[in-house]
A and B are shown apart, each in its own frame.
Chain A
Amino acid sequence: MTGAPEPPRDGDRGSLAIVLHAHQPFVRETGGTVTAAEERFFGIVTRCYVPLISALSALVADRVPVRLALSVSPPLLDLLSDRVVQQRYVRYLDRCLTDGGRTLGASREHPVLVGHPDDERDRLRDVRRAFVETWSCDLVNALRALERAGVVEALASAATHAYLPLLASDPRSIRAQLRVGLDQHRRHFGTSALGVWLPGAAYAPGVDEILAELDVRYSVLDARGLTRARPRPVMGVWSPVISPSGVAFFGRDPEAWAQVAGEHGYPADPDYLPTEMPRDLEEPCALPLGAPQGTPYSARRARAKLDAHANNFVACRESQIDALAAMMPRPPIVLAAYAAELFGARWLEGPAWLAATLRKIAYDQRSFTLTTPSEYLARHPLAQECRVAGSSAGHRGDQASRLGGENDWVYLPLHRAGLRMRALVRQNEDATGLRLRALNQAARELLLAQSGDWPLRMSKGVLVNDAVRRTRLHLARFARLARDLEDGSPDEAWLADVEARDNAFPALDYRSLG
């Protein structure tokens, strides 16, 4: 893969930074059957991650000057680089091919609108070829290549996508989540991340101090984190602010977000192929409705619409940046941040739209430059000092979607487990042998139980039984390990079994949770 040339920098009226955040919970299975959660994960790899990486690699091959920031959560990195998961995924693809490609992009509600089975089968074959032959089943390797090519600036994230405002009563748990997340990033990418994507773009007061302590330069927040900051930022969300501890915070541009991912965003156009919606997402999302009953899906019409929408997005950013630049004393930055799963999993044509948009930004306009947050900070290191506000990407910017009658039972056991883990670390500062293994596994189980996906799925009513099962399972495994460690010696055979099942973070040091 060759390095991408520098993007044009005419005028520098303003910049656009596209930030994608990819995350899936740790749904590794070793049994003989594919669970619903695992099947959902494989579906997203098929529709989103493989096409997205293919699209970006094609841009690099064509030497299109492209920059974007990409955060891949540690559980997703571990899943994508796991040999067992890779083998199970290939078997899943083979099964889909023998099923006639029904799984890909199909909609049970609108079976008549599904693309032609031959198209689906071709698409599946392309995915399988790219996965097995081009990337040797290792998508993390493909991501590393994109990073080395200068196309992608990789951001780190919390260890298991824990929702940090609901851990705020225990700052050491937040520190452990972020520290392990940064360690995992270094392990997979070989470099330290300059930026961190906070799960759910959720910020709680005090997180900036932990980020500064861990040497993180910047993070991205929902717009409300900046609009409600104290004092009010003089340049709105179109210039980063800096916290008293020295960490820069960018605000997600609401307009660019709504245009693509909002309830009435591009994917809602009836010319696009309807897909099954993953509903366990923080925000309301664009819903591909499909064409009116009886109108067949036309790939040609979808491609034309995709091109028009790419033009529209670029035109809107040009006019937006022109208007902002006229008011601001420095070039504005419009930060367009999306869940990566939007492109493909929720919007089948999404990866193609993104590639078309990136090409048009590179060649069809001169109003703004494509940049990444760290590049912008390097050019404009001075920022207004503000205390950013507690906020999230949730409906009203608060914790309402994460904390309610359906899931509030989770937080006390998690808090107690965090306290117990710290006591174990204090009592076993230099553990070796079996105790070391048990302590590391206890830390692993606690981090997995803290995943923010489980409470979110409970509140959204998506795969609730699985979410409850996994929360209880990780907490129960942690409790048993803690009891064994407190009372004497762990059961080695049982420990080995649990280590084989929950094998996330192989290099984890339990002292990180102390």
Chain B
Amino acid sequence: MAPQRDDARNDDGPLLRALAALTAPLRALLGGADAVLGVVARTLRPRGDAGPDGVAPPVLRAIQGGVSLRTRRRSDAYPVEARPHEVAPCDTDVTLDIGDDDPCDDVLLALPRDPRTVFVTWCRSAGADAERAARITESPHSIRDALSIEALDEDGTEGADTAAECWVVTLAPRATSTYVDLLRPRREVRITLGTTSEDGDFVALIGPRTVEPPPAGAGRVEPPRWRCVTGSGVDAPPVPREPTRTDTETLHARAIAQDDAGAATPAADRFGSTAR
């Protein structure tokens, strides 16, 4: 099934659509979009900007929009940015051996950053690296040198009647971490590190790891279930009368309004209006 695109989010206006069209010949010339993406991502994205809310800059999205038209076998979806690993400024104790080179098993770590961004980092055992290098030497066309990340959302968008979505992010050479843009808030995503074969198949190497990003909006209203706090020593106190639907909505609206904007209310205004 074709993935559901968030057209409203990706509509960057006629100028950027024109830019996407202009870069098409260059992509064709270079035989793929990944090289263009890598160059453009490094050029356009300021250092350290993981995207304050995970949104790629509009220009980059315009080019990615072109890339998404390519067909992939397992995931006919959109590659998302591949950002080179950035290291924190560290001018003290850089010589300390923190065990980076100590032997380890394959590790894949996927951490939710916000509702639509997941940080993925990994390290591979020496044996696994040697095996992959041998496979490339034996059969250079069987797998690509570059690693990829496959993201799988089995539920689709929450609240929408969409099927599972799956997409692959091709990484920059020698990358050891990246931020995966989930394109929209998701309830649960499975992340797998792998590589793609010459004919487009995704070959899993480590994972999957399941990530639950923090939700972006309020939960659904359902009839409440009541229970006692553990250790309260009370068996079954009377179930409280529920607030009316109007009161519930008012209470919730009040909580959300304060949640989003409470901190922005000048103290002087409140002070002036309610001081005794």
Contacts and interface: CB of A to CB of B under 8 A. Distances in A.
Given A254-B258, A396-B114, A316 B270 contact: yes
Contacts of B121: 408, 411-412
B87 interface: yes
A232 B265 contact: no
> Is chain B's interface secondary structure helix, strand, loop, or mixed overall?
loop
B55 to A, nearest CB: 12
Interface centre among B221, B225, B238 (most CB of A within 10 A): B225
A217 B247 CA distance: 29
B230 A412 contact: no
A341 interface: no
A238 interface: yes
A399 B255 contact: no
Contacts of A251: 255
Interface string A220-250: 0001101111111111111010100011100
Contacts, number: 294
Contact of A413 (B100, B228, B267): B100
Given A378-B232, A405-B48, A468-B88, A263 B214 contact: no
B259 interface: yes
Interface in B234-270: 234, 237-243, 247-248, 250-252, 254-256, 258-259, 262-268, 270
B174 interface: no
B123 interface: yes
Contacts of B102: 420, 479, 482-483
A405 B50 CA distance: 7
Given A382-B227, A416-B104, A473-B93, A324 B99 contact: no
B91 interface: yes
Nearest to A468: B90
Interface string A306-349: 00110110011001000010011110000000000000000000
Contacts of A64: none
A455 to B, nearest CB: 9
Interface in A4-46: none
Nearest to A194: B231
A261 to B, nearest CB: 9
Nearest to A261: B263
Given A396-B114, A405-B86, A411-B109, A229 B219 contact: yes
Contacts of A327: 243, 247, 250-251
A286 B268 CA distance: 13
Contacts of A382: 226-229, 234, 237-240
A416 B121 CA distance: 11
A278 interface: no
Contacts of B248: 234-235
Given A232-B221, A262-B263, A412-B109, A476 B177 contact: no
Given A315-B276, A328-B243, A465-B91, A390 B214 contact: yes
B255 A223 contact: yes
Contact of B229 (A217, A228, A254, A311): A217
Nearest to A265: B267
Interface string A242-285: 10001110010111011100111110110000000000000110
B219 A262 contact: no
Interface in A465-496: 465-466, 468-469, 472-473, 475-476, 478-480, 482-483
B274 A319 contact: yes
A254 B219 contact: no
A389 interface: yes
Nearest to A330: B240
A227 B258 CA distance: 11
A224 B254 CA distance: 12
B72 interface: no
A480 B97 contact: yes
9 contacts: A228-B218, A232-B218, A235-B251, A236-B254, A242-B229, A381-B229, A410-B88, A416-B107, A468-B92
Given A228-B214, A328-B247, A390-B214, 18 more contacts: A168-B111, A169-B109, A169-B209, A234-B248, A258-B258, A263-B264, A329-B242, A382-B227, A383-B229, A396-B114, A398-B214, A405-B86, A416-B104, A472-B90, A472-B92, A472-B93, A475-B98, A479-B97
The 7 closest A-B pairs by CB, nearest first: A479-B99, A381-B232, A231-B222, A246-B230, A254-B258, A230-B219, A390-B214
Interface of B: 47-50, 52-53, 85-94, 96-100, 102, 104-105, 107, 109-115, 119, 121-123, 176-177, 209, 212-222, 224-234, 237-243, 247-248, 250-252, 254-256, 258-259, 262-268, 270-271, 274-276
